[in-house]
Amino acid sequence: NAGVTQTPKFRILKIGQSMTLQCTQDMNHNYMYWYRQDPGMGLKLIYYSVGAGITDKGEVPNGYNVSRSTTEDFPLRLELAAPSQTSVYFCASTLTSGDYNEQFFGPGTRLTVL
């Protein structure tokens, strides 16, 4: 199993450009998440999905969009990139089972908006 994979690893965007961050998991997890981590800070939840076709906003959703057409994939879309979106983006997934809540994280995408 590859676990959670993210592409690209690094990206530089100009202000106003758009891009899609890809996330795929091969663990058949139903829950998937997108977080951003600003320098020296913890992770903040952008969007999450409890299953294919279902998405919901997290703590910091403005400027982002998501879709979940399959169990495996959960892409994050930035439509009009802004410098405030410079961050490291992490995708995570979990298989909900009672109290156990380990979220497995991908390696991250480092995005710089200039």
CB of 48 to other proteins, least distance (A): 6
First-to-last C-alpha distance (Å) of the chain: 36
Q: Measuring CA to CA, how many Å separate 114 from each of 38, 43, 86?
A: 16, 22, 8
Question: Are 110 and 7 a contacting pair, CB within 8 Å?
Answer: no
Contact residues for other proteins (CB under 8 A)? 4, 31, 33, 35, 40-45, 48, 50, 56, 58-59, 90, 92, 94, 96, 99-103, 105-108
CB of 60 to other proteins, least distance (A): 11
CB of 44 to other proteins, least distance (A): 7
